[in-house]
């Protein structure tokens, strides 16, 4: 009965005003068919400039990742060792004559950096911040019914300007938005849920409507809330009012009964659809995402989501997508999040800048708690040409735009106004921190504000200013226990933890000696090939191993959560090395998306699915002493067998997170069996591999969309004749593709590999390589082949569907 009522209500509301839907807002993806020139051009904005020889491409685009690695590039290895420079983008397009009575906008999700935009030779504006979204009003300068030329100059020539790889260009999506003269403003809604119980949720919606008609207009707003099944569950109408002003703020209180709550395990989403009626006709329709949830940080009990305690098990990540560079790709981002979710991760910190909007959409949809961060520096620099040059003039605008854009995402539960701000040490923080929090509070008071402090002591001026709600600690986990002695009554968040260092597949013994400060942690690790042992026993002076941090985190309830540095390896910041390394070692997952061993430590602790992971590989010099580790859960013990003979039963004691056997290596089979109350839970085997004999290709998805951007990530494994991965295989693999797809990048997770990611050939690294297959626009079948000298060619089919 209730369903029938809801259905009738939906039909009634949907059919109220009847003017054709296409007269309302149109948001058109504007990524196709741009012309690009690398290098500066004079008069690049002029309409009559001949750009016919420029390269044709589709956005999002990152020209840096197309370049060659060199230590001499101004970004330095810290910035990924790839070139920067100046680039120009142009696009010619027509606007229908019938749009003359419309408003037309161009919206950029992100351009790195210092962009200037012109339409038909008219300068629309300059935006220095490479991570911020912005839009311009094209209306006054358009040729309706004729040709228009958009020109964008991007200046990333002066580097270093980020402490990591930034990418260069229009690296996120671009949208052409057409609205009526009476329409919801840019980021013009704000949805909150002031009161949520099991019985009902009060939803408050604030809407800003803009009137460009030039004379007073009649306005009525009808808002409907749709549940995830597409059924309207609540509707609200305002009275008809006349708006004389150019802007009007409207407030609507709506009730949703028996709300389905958003959580990390069940991220239930509603949609709030607002219709703007102008004299009874729909003038605009605007959708706002809604997740109904409530949360709280308690000084002594930690974090609660929907009334239940929950530790935030998060990671920090930079924005690059490995071998794809900074160019946004929805599927690549989704894959990263899927890999993290499978580890048990439930939180993302957008270090250290506003993310792509798609990241927030995905976190809403997949159930991640987001700490949305604004700045890596304020007025004092960290690297010579970073945002400190623009902070004074732009921080208010940038921070306002970030909060306006992002505040409707249910996944966001923390704002961060800065990472390791050098001014923590200076009294200027007493002025700036309160100013930044006031900017956020003027737009959103529903989330706590924090800063990620590398000086979490009482002399910290940001903390002293009293402006932050959560005291954020970067590292210093040995001091967590004493947090309340230092900050009585305050709330805690571990904004950044660990910074463990590993190379996937590389091992040094003994595994149980942890390289700690004040030993020269960096010196003993300079190895040929710049490798770092993957036993979770190496850390920088400021950081800690994964296990050491997690042991503390799990001990105290008041430690509301953590964001590990980092989920994925990223381009740039190749600590502990510099050149020839060009990407980081901090990830739990390598740059290609292959998990390092420590991934399974987290999985064994953070999920309930049974885990038994043993390592290292089993190819050593006979007689060598080898440490075998096992991460496991859901079991009382693990027994290890070498060539069928038991070498002992182990179980974790105290706060152990792994067990270890020290063995004299002999070739053969290592087999682990985990048991609970005597019953086998899991078994896991590693065998000594013989010589490389074949390539195995495994696709993460064998069917993808023929939409020009969907991806299949294909892992190539070098196997011996019996199907074992050859652990040190570095065969050069040549990938080829036919059909309606192409290979945008290849990778292997090796931070020292200088082959361009754009090449279709890649050496395996510790037995693995990755080829990414991207769809074109026609459905069909594409076949990827992989060949390597002396091995039979392997192939795999990917189906492309509409």
Q: Which residues are catalytic?
A: 420, 496
Cis status, amide bond into 352, omega within 30 of 0: yes
In the bound complex, what is the minimum distance in angstroms from residue 689's beta carbon to ligand GAL?
A: 34
Q: What is the dihedral of CA 290, 291, 292, 294, to 10 degrees?
A: -120
Q: Is 569 in the site for ligand GAL (CB under 6 A)?
A: no
Q: Which is nearer to ligand GAL, 416 or 499 (CB)?
A: 499
Cβ atoms of 187 and 157 closer than 8 Å: no
Q: In the bound complex, what is the minimum distance in angstroms from residue 703's beta carbon to ligand GAL? A: 38
Does 355 bind ligand GAL (CB under 6 A)? Our answer is no
Q: What count of other Cβ atoms lies within 10 Å of the Cβ of residue 794?
A: 18
Residue closer to ligand GAL (CB basis): 404 or 471: 471
Residues 488-507 that bind ligand GAL (CB under 6 A): 496, 499
Tell me whether residue 268 is exposed, middle or buried, using C-beta atoms within 10 angstroms of its C-beta: 0 to 12, 13 to 18, 19 or more: middle
Decide: is 474 part of the binding site for ligand GAL (CB under 6 A).
yes
| Segment near ligand GAL (CB under 6 A); pick from 55-63, 168-176, 253-261, 538-546 | 538-546
Ordered DSSP codes for 161-206: -SSS----BS-S-EEEEEE-SEEEEEEEEEEEEEEE-SSEEEEEEE
Rounded Cα–Cα distance for residues 393 and 387 (Å): 10
Which is closer to ligand GAL, CB of 54 or CB of 568?
A: 568
Taking CB under 6 A as the rule, does residue 373 contact ligand GAL?
no
Q: Which residue is nearest to ligand GAL (CB)?
A: 499
- Piece of the chain touching ligand GAL by CB under 6 A; list 44-52, 230-238, 537-545, 679-687: 537-545
> Does residue 419 interact with ligand GAL by CB under 6 A?
yes
Phi, psi values for residue 686, rounded to 5°: -130, 135
The H or E element containing residue 210 is strand 200-211
| Residue selected from 77, 128, 540, 574 as contacting ligand GAL according to rule CB under 6 A | 540
> If binding is defined by CB under 6 A, does position 406 make contact with ligand GAL?
no
Task: To the nearest 10°, report the CA torsion of 88, 94, 99, 103.
Answer: 0
454 in contact with ligand GAL (CB under 6 A):
yes
Counting contacts by CB under 6 A, is residue 538 touching ligand GAL? no
Other beta carbons within 10 Å of 120: 17
As given in the structure block, the two tokens for residue 262 are 């958003």
Query: Which one of residues 62, 155, 364, 420 is an interface residue with ligand GAL (CB under 6 A)?
Result: 420
> Is 320 one of the binding residues for ligand GAL (CB under 6 A)?
no
Is position 37 an interface residue for ligand GAL (rule: CB under 6 A)? no
Q: Which is nearer to ligand GAL, 112 or 713 (CB)?
A: 112
Q: Which stretch binds ligand GAL (CB under 6 A): 89-97, 395-403, 528-536, 540-548?
A: 540-548
Q: What are phi and psi of 400, to 5 degrees?
A: -60, -45
At closest approach, how far in Å is the CB of 480 from ligand GAL?
17
**C-beta closer to ligand GAL: residue 287 or 575:** 575
Based on the number of CB atoms within 10 Å of its own CB, is 396 exposed (0-12), middle (13-18) or buried (19 or more)?
A: middle
Q: DSSP per residue over 469-501, as a string?
A: SEEEEES-GGGGGGHHHHSTT-EEEEEEEE---
Query: Tokens 């990390």 label which residue?
Result: 264
Q: How far is the CB of 316 from ligand GAL (least distance, A)?
A: 7
- Cα dihedral 589, 419, 62, 161, rounded to 10, equals -130
Give dist(CA 16, CA 9) in Å, integer. Answer: 11
Nearest approach, Cβ of residue 174 and ligand GAL (Å):
28
Question: Which residue number, 108 or 473, has a Cβ lying nearer to ligand GAL?
Answer: 473
Q: Residue 400: enclosing H or E segment and its boundaries? A: helix 388-406
Q: 406 and 393 in contact (C-beta within 8 Å)?
A: no
Q: Is position 165 an interface residue for ligand GAL (rule: CB under 6 A)? A: no
Which residues in the 571-590 window bind ligand GAL by CB under 6 A? Answer: 573, 575
Residue closer to ligand GAL by CB (options 159, 499) is: 499
Binding segment for ligand GAL among 166-174, 249-257, 535-543, 648-656 (CB under 6 A)? 535-543
**Interface with ligand GAL includes 543 (CB under 6 A)?**
yes
Name the residues that contact ligand GAL, by CB under 6 A. Answer: 419-420, 454, 474, 496, 499, 540, 542-543, 565, 573, 575
């Amino acid at each position: 009965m209730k369903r029938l009522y809801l259905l009738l209500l939906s039909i009634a509301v949907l059919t109220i005003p009847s003017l054709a839907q296409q007269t309302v807002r149109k948001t058109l993806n504007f990524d196709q068919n741009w012309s690009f020139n690398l290098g500066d051009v004079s008069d690049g904005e002029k309409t009559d400039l001949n750009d016919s020889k420029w390269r044709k491409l589709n956005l999002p685009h990152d020209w840096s990742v197309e370049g060659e690695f060199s230590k001499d590039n101004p970004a330095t290895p810290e910035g990924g060792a790839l070139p920067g420079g100046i680039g120009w983008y142009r696009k010619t397009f027509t606007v229908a004559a019938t749009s003359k009575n419309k408003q037309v906008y161009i919206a950029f999700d992100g351009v790195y950096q210092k962009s200037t935009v012109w339409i038909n030779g008219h300068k629309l504006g300059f935006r220095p911040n490479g991570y911020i979204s912005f839009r311009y009003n094209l209306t006054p300068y358009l040729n309706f019914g004729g040709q228009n030329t958009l020109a964008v100059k991007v200046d990333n020539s002066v580097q270093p300007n980020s402490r990591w790889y930034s990418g260069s260009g229009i690296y996120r999506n671009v949208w052409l938005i057409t609205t009526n003269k009476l329409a919801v403003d840019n980021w013009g809604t704000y949805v909150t849920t002031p009161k949520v119980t099991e019985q009902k949720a009060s939803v408050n919606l604030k809407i800003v409507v803009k009137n460009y008609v030039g004379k007073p207009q009649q306005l009525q707003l009808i808002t409907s809330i749709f549940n995830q099944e597409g059924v309207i569950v609540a509707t609200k109408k305002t009275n008809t009012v006349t708006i004389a002003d150019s802007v009007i703020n409207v407030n609507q209180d709506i009730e949703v009964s028996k709300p389905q709550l958003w959580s990390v395990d069940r991220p239930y989403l509603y949609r709030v659809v607002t219709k703007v009626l102008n004299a009874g006709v729909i003038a605009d329709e605007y959708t706002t995402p809604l997740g109904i949830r409530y949360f709280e940080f308690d000084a002594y009990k930690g974090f609660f989501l929907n009334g239940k305690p929950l530790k935030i098990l998060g990671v920090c990540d930079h924005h690059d997508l490995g071998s794809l560079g900074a160019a946004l790709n929805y599927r690549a981002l989704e894959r990263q999040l899927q890999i993290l979710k499978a580890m048990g991760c439930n939180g993302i910190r957008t270090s250290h800048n506003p993310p792509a909007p798609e990241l927030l959409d995905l976190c809403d949809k997949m159930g991640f708690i987001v700490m949305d961060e604004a700045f890596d520096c304020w007025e004092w620099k960290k690297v010579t040409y970073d945002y400190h040059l623009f902070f004074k003039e732009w921080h208010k605008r940038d921070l306002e735009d970030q909060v306006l854009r992002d505040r409707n995402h249910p996944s966001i539960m923390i704002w961060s106004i800065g990472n390791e701000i050098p001014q923590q040490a200076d009294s200027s923080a007493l002025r700036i921190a309160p100013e930044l929090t006031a900017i956020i509070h003027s737009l959103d008071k529903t989330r706590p504000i924090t800063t990620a402090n590398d000086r979490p002591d009482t002399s910290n001026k940001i903390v002293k200013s009293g402006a932050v709600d959560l005291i954020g600690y970067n590292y210093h986990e040995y001091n967590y226990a004493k947090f309340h002695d230092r900050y009585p009554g305050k709330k805690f968040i571990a904004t950044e933890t660990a910074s463990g260092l590993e190379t996937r597949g590389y091992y040094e013994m003994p595994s149980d000696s942890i390289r700690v400060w004040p030993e020269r942690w960096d010196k003993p690790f300079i190895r040929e090939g710049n490798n770092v042992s993957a036993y979770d026993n190496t850390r920088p002076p400021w950081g800690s191993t994964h296990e050491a941090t997690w042991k503390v985190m799990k001990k105290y309830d008041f430690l509301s959560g953590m964001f590990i540095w980092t989920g994925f390896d990223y381009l740039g910041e190749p600590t502990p090395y510099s050149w020839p390394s060009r990407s980081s070692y901090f990830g739990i997952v390598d740059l290609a998306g292959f998990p390092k061993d420590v991934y399974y430590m987290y999985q064994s602790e953070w999920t309930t699915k049974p885990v038994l992971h043993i390592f290292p590989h089993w190819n050593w010099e006979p007689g060598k002493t080898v440490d075998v580790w096992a991460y496991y859960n859901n079991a009382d013990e693990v027994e290890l067998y070498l060539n069928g003979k038991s070498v002992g039963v182990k179980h974790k004691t105290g706060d152990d997170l792994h067990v270890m056997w020290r063995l004299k290596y002999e070739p053969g089979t290592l087999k682990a069996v985990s048991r609970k109350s005597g019953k086998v839970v899991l078994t896991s085997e590693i065998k000594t591999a013989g010589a490389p004999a074949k390539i195995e290709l495994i696709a993460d998805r064998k069917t993808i969309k023929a939409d020009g951007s969907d991806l299949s990530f294909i892992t190539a494994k070098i196997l011996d004749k019996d199907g074992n991965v050859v652990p040190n295989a570095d065969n050069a693999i040549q990938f080829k593709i036919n059909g309606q797809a192409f290979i945008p990048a290849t990778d292997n997770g090796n931070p020292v590999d200088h082959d361009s990611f754009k090449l279709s050939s890649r050496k395996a690294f510790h037995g693995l390589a990755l080829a990414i297959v991207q769809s074109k626009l026609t459905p069909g079948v594409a076949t990827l082949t992989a060949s390597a000298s002396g091995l039979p060619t392997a192939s795999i089919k990917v189906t492309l569907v509409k």
